[in-house]
């Protein structure tokens, strides 16, 4: 057993973990059920919704934990607003109970995910430094790399850099090169490498199939947003689409220099949807704010109303 204050904090963490699991499950159902519907939403709105879905389990955990803590400290007998927010033995905690096992498992998952992402970042930083040393500037924040691969990508967080290989430059026209460079500069302007990495951290806490689907949708939205930025520079959308197809065809024959969660690249990722988007074949609509708000509220209510019942159910299976 622990002192009351420490036990309270540990129980609050247990509530947060259970809430996260419930909210995570609810979001996963939404993503699995409405994945195709995301493709009909306008790019900027879609990116915002994806961020909301990825952050929602964390937000729900915070809100529910605050409600349960408020109920614990409320002494007014007439305050019935949070009667459902009741947690037995809030002032006591035993590591040998299911509460302790739950926190240990959650801690292992969090440490593993954050640790692996930081290691990935450290490794990528070294690779980026090496690439920078071996490259030479050819335009504003654009560097050429000598490599036998056809590739163009943007990387870096505080100092964003766009890279193109000499093989790509040798096999594309000046117009195509201008499109590719404009696309990569749009990624740098939007700070997509950092956003992509942060989103991959949030997605890593979902089951792999849902996490990969979320990342794929975010990748598509980022690529379409960068394609849009090129078109807004008064470039022909058909020319952008043909350049994309050409680079994708060249990429299919070789291994790209860099293709991971810390870069945004001009390549074959989500090719079909990007081409349809550029050719105006997709009828995209703005997201319905009321539906999005309703989803957030429904998730919070689900968690608030279910935690106590879930607690009672687990107590009937495991000895507290």
Residues in contact with 222: Cβ distance below 8 Å, sequence separation at least 6, in sequence order: 47, 187, 190, 192, 195, 196, 264
Q: For residue 235, what pLDDT is reported?
A: 79
Residue the block writes with tokens 């989500």:
270
Q: For residue 1, what pLDDT is reported?
A: 45
The two beta strands, 135-139 and 142-145, are antiparallel
Beta carbons within 10 angstroms of residue 313's beta carbon: 11
Half-sphere CA count of 61, side-chain side, radius 13 A:
19
Q: For residue 87, what pLDDT is reported?
A: 60
Tell me the pTM: 0.88
Q: For residue 114, what pLDDT is reported?
A: 96
Residues in contact with 191: Cβ distance below 8 Å, sequence separation at least 6, in sequence order: 157, 160
Give the chain's radius of gyration (CA, Å): 24
The two beta strands, 142-145 and 161-165, are parallel
Q: For residue 127, what pLDDT is reported?
A: 85
Q: For residue 53, what pLDDT is reported?
A: 96
Please list the pLDDT of the chain residue by residue as tens digits (320 residues). 455 678 888 888 988 999 999 999 999 999 999 888 888 899 999 999 999 999 999 999 999 888 888 777 665 544 555 555 556 666 677 787 777 888 999 999 999 999 999 999 998 888 888 888 888 988 888 999 988 888 889 988 888 889 999 999 999 999 999 999 999 999 999 999 999 999 999 999 999 999 999 999 999 999 999 999 999 887 788 998 899 888 888 876 655 555 567 777 776 667 788 888 888 877 788 888 898 899 999 999 988 888 877 766 666 666 54
User: What's the CA gap between 192 and 219, in Å, rounded?
Assistant: 9
Q: Residues, the chain, total?
A: 320
Measure the CA angle with vertex 216, ends 213 and 217; round to 5°. 90
Closest to 245 measured CA to CA, from 179, 191, 182: 179
User: What's the CA gap between 21 and 61, in Å, rounded?
Assistant: 9
Per-residue buried b or exposed e for 46-75, using 16+ beta carbons within 10 Å of the residue's own CB: bbbbbebbbebbbbbbebbbebbbebbeee
């Amino acid at each position: 057993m622990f002192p009351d204050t420490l036990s309270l904090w540990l129980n609050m963490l247990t509530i947060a973990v259970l809430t996260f699991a419930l909210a995570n499950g609810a979001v996963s159902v939404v993503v699995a059920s409405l994945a195709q519907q995301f493709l009909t939403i306008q790019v900027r709105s879609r990116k915002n919704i994806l961020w909301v879905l990825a952050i929602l389990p964390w937000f729900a955990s915070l809100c529910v934990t605050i409600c349960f803590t408020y109920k614990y400290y409320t002494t007014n007998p007439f305050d019935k607003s949070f009667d459902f927010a009741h947690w037995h033995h809030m002032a006591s905690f035993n590591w040998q109970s299911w509460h302790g096992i739950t926190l240990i498992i959650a801690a292992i998952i969090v440490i593993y995910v954050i640790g692996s992402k930081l290691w990935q970042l450290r490794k990528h930083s070294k690779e980026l430094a090496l690439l920078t040393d071996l490259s030479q500037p050819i335009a504003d924040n654009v560097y050429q790399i000598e490599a036998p691969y056809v590739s163009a990508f943007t990387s870096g967080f505080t100092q964003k850099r766009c890279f193109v290989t000499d093989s790509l430059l040798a096999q594309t026209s000046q117009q195509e090169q201008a499109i590719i460079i404009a696309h990569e500069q749009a990624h740098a302007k939007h700070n997509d490498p950092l956003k992509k990495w942060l989103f991959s951290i949030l997605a890593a806490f979902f089951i792999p199939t849902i996490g990969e689907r979320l990342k794929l949708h975010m990748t598509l939205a980022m690529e379409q947003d960068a394609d849009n930025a090129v078109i807004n520079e008064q470039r022909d959308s058909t020319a952008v689409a043909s350049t994309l197809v050409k680079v994708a065809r060249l990429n299919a024959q070789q291994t790209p220099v860099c293709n991971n969660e810390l870069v945004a690249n001009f390549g074959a990722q989500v090719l079909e949807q990007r081409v349809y988007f550029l050719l105006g074949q997709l009828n995209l609509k703005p997201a319905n704010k009321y539906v999005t708000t309703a989803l957030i509220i429904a998730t919070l209510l689900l968690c608030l109303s279910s935690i106590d019942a879930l607690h009672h159910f687990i107590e009937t299976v495991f000895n507290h």
